Structure 1
């Protein structure tokens, strides 16, 4: 999943680290290190050097003279112990604890490369701009100790930038536990995005987590939709409510909610016909479904492999009928990851699930931190 983006982010993280290390080396080579050592420290170390030289020049006569003055035996008098390599020690501390101030010039080349990588992997421009701005804020003008790994330093900044764009995930089980039953979830989206199969997967997921489920087959427009949903429902072991082809989908979903209330069902999963936002009659029908069903959650479903198109459509659906959360199908086939990174940032709504295969078990809750760690190849 997101293989192409993962490999390129790994490469650019190393490039950031190399650029930072190079700027450190250049600073040290041009003598900037000595400039950053406080003059007071240099004065102290020079004084200590002179004192050590003087101490080491004590003669035996001086020792005998001191012994006579103090009325003690010469054996009891010894020269002051020199503070061995005190200057070297102080310099070592200054070097190992020294911090450098990073400038935008130090990282401009990898920063430009990161921007191109994100755009080439279908990350929306606004999301790219947010990530680049966060990287600049996290690195430029910041001080970093030399002993800190430059690559890790960059990965932390990149992780924070990606987390800012992805936002928080959406836990369906937590939502169900905190709300009155039945929880009603309405699935919307364009034709062919995989809503029907996704609903079956979510039903299977909820059953495995101990919830009772009923499905409302509200796609009365597409030929064979009822039969397809009935087949899925039988395979995952849940009840499906349906009417004949061409029936009013609002009536079907009203009956599904009524059934759930009468039988103490935890969750209603409502299917709808695929539609595009520019089909006014279908969007009006969807608005009627919302008024009749009164869903708790409206979940927009689209393909992760659609990239920027999925982001644009999600925004249009959100503007037209509203969206509470997103499900992205075919994430296992998506090498780029642009839709997953961009949708939350664009419509300000969280991703709930990723579809990652053909089986009923192949749907996973979207966990932003886990996704970012996988992208960066590390648990930071």
Structure 2
């Protein structure tokens, strides 16, 4: 989900890092250092990973010590030191009676190499009859290899590196750099354009950019990783404020109405083709599995096949459908459904209405009539996440006409841009209640701002990964 927005967020971090490093190079204020280069998405679980790494290191030490102890064959202190080294380098290799045979096979395979003596000395370190010359060569090789392992401790031990090779991409500033507005001007303009291209509403894009600017200007940077982390946090904080619109969940409202002995009445509005009727079937199934008893009102009485469509979903999930003849008064159907729920002690009424364009005044007036008669507790706009800014504009028009209470976005799982999900609640100041996540009846989830934030700031659906350079 939201791959387009993820790339734009990551690119903002990369651009700022490039800007500061380039300026530092011109000032002779830059030095390369060894260490891990974190990706933009790694910071979401950086602390957890460090914790896991620490536990892993503690767990591995006894195994290595045990391996070293098994290789000790002499009481001599110098011999012990040598055996500790050989115990480390022979980890995972044959031991005991097969040790000499393993060494002979290694030497046979390397006989054609130009530097045969050096390599054979390396692998013969487990022999107790090494000469002074071989020990000296071993020390040099070990020194070279230990530098390799100190830089690449998480990489495959089979990889080799030149003595002068250093990890790239990690830099520190001799004198700490301070992020100024000058550094951010072009970068934030590019971010804003990128957000608009991703169907994010203009006011939302501006709010994100302003928040990021406020958080970053004045930050003092010592290492290149700091740039990535500060940018990540600034963007995440900005988006968190945008998507977290307070409001009660539908489940909480059902419980509150149930305590009063009344059903929760929900009226669904939106244009044709957004998945409104299918969403009603999903919600009926969702709350049926939670132990509630929904009833559906087929109040779309004009569109050909509308009653048959909602009847199909009602039969599939096993809930009661209240319907009248085609062309009858939609408000009357909604009223009868509410009365049925009250009489039968059902907790939830889901009212399907005809899809209509927000610009059709006559049809909008009809919807107002349904609202007056049925007196719904919630008026929910159902929008297609893939339509991006169009969904936000539609929700705004419906909100102006009948005052909607919340939003359900369909096809959110297929939304690579994320513009509607980021914008719609902030623009109309109403919460997103549910997200449609597929075509099955179970493919719906209650909206959770924290979950949404993790989706926007994760790589390939994960909380984050650490890239080592």
Task: State TM-score, norm by structure 1.
Answer: 0.77
Task: Report the more deviating stretch, 144-153 or 158-167.
Answer: 144-153
Does structure 2 retain, via aligned residues, the 8 Å contact 1:300–1:314?
A: yes
Matches within 5 A, 1:263-302: 263-302=344-383
Gaps of 5+ in 2: 31-171, 465-469
What is the aligned partner in structure 1 of residue 285 from structure 2?
Answer: 204
Does structure 1 retain, via aligned residues, the 8 Å contact 2:245–2:430?
A: no
Does structure 2 retain, via aligned residues, the 8 Å contact 1:17–1:154?
A: no
Does structure 1 retain, via aligned residues, the 8 Å contact 2:8–2:195?
A: no
Does structure 2 retain, via aligned residues, the 8 Å contact 1:169–1:351?
A: no
The separation in 1 between residues aligned to 2:28 and 2:384, in whole angstroms, is: 51
Q: 1:5 offset after TM fit, Å?
A: 2.2
What is the aligned partner in structure 2 of residue 321 from structure 1?
Answer: 402
Matches within 5 A, 1:212-361: 212-361=293-442
The separation in 2 between residues aligned to 1:296 and 1:28, in whole angstroms, is: 65
Does structure 1 retain, via aligned residues, the 8 Å contact 2:384–2:391?
A: yes
What is the aligned partner in structure 1 of residue 452 from structure 2?
Answer: 371
Does structure 1 retain, via aligned residues, the 8 Å contact 2:29–2:173?
A: no
Q: 1:145 offset after TM fit, Å?
A: 5.9
* 1:153–1:192 CA distance, 2 compared to 1 (3 A): same
The separation in 1 between residues aligned to 2:28 and 2:290, in whole angstroms, is: 59
Which of the residues 168, 172, 176 maps onto 2:250?
Answer: 172
Q: 1:212 offset after TM fit, Å?
A: 1.6
Secondary structure of the structure 1 residue equivalent to 2:215: helix
Measured against aligned partners, the alpha-carbon deviations of 1:16-73 in whole angstroms (never above 9, x if no partner) come to 344345556666729xxxxxxxxxxxxxxxxxxxxxxxxxxxxxxxxxxxxxxxxxxx
Secondary structure of the structure 1 residue equivalent to 2:452: helix
Q: 1:164 offset after TM fit, Å?
A: 1.6
Task: Report the more deviating stretch, 240-249 or 174-183.
Answer: 174-183
The separation in 2 between residues aligned to 1:224 and 1:308, in whole angstroms, is: 29
Does structure 2 retain, via aligned residues, the 8 Å contact 1:97–1:146?
A: no
Task: Report the more deviating stretch, 97-106 or 157-166.
Answer: 97-106
Matches within 5 A, 1:95-110: 100-110=177-187
Secondary structure of the structure 2 residue equivalent to 1:268: strand
Q: 1:231 offset after TM fit, Å?
A: 1.0
Q: 1:346 offset after TM fit, Å?
A: 1.1
* 1:28–1:167 CA distance, 2 compared to 1 (3 A): farther
Secondary structure of the structure 1 residue equivalent to 2:396: helix
Asked if 1:195 is matched to 2:286, the reply is: no
What is the aligned partner in structure 2 of residue 62 from structure 1?
Answer: none
The separation in 2 between residues aligned to 1:208 and 1:145, in whole angstroms, is: 54
Secondary structure of the structure 2 residue equivalent to 1:5: helix
Which of the residues 233, 254, 260 maps onto 1:156?
Answer: 233
The separation in 1 between residues aligned to 2:374 and 2:452, in whole angstroms, is: 34
Task: Report the more deviating stretch, 331-340 or 15-24.
Answer: 15-24
Q: 1:98 offset after TM fit, Å?
A: 8.1
* Aligned residues between the structures: 316
Does structure 1 retain, via aligned residues, the 8 Å contact 2:245–2:426?
A: no
Measured against aligned partners, the alpha-carbon deviations of 1:207-239 in whole angstroms (never above 9, x if no partner) come to 222222111111111111111111101111111
Does structure 1 retain, via aligned residues, the 8 Å contact 2:245–2:429?
A: no
Q: CA RMSD in A?
A: 2.4
What is the aligned partner in structure 2 of residue 2 from structure 1?
Answer: 2
What is the aligned partner in structure 2 of residue 362 from structure 1?
Answer: 443
Q: 1:177 offset after TM fit, Å?
A: 2.3
Q: 1:111 offset after TM fit, Å?
A: 1.4
Task: Report the more deviating stretch, 184-193 or 136-145.
Answer: 136-145
Task: State TM-score, norm by structure 2.
Answer: 0.63
The separation in 1 between residues aligned to 2:10 and 2:441, in whole angstroms, is: 32
Gaps of 5+ in 1: 31-94
Does structure 1 retain, via aligned residues, the 8 Å contact 2:13–2:231?
A: yes
The separation in 2 between residues aligned to 1:172 and 1:235, in whole angstroms, is: 22
Does structure 2 retain, via aligned residues, the 8 Å contact 1:194–1:329?
A: yes
Matches within 5 A, 1:36-55: none
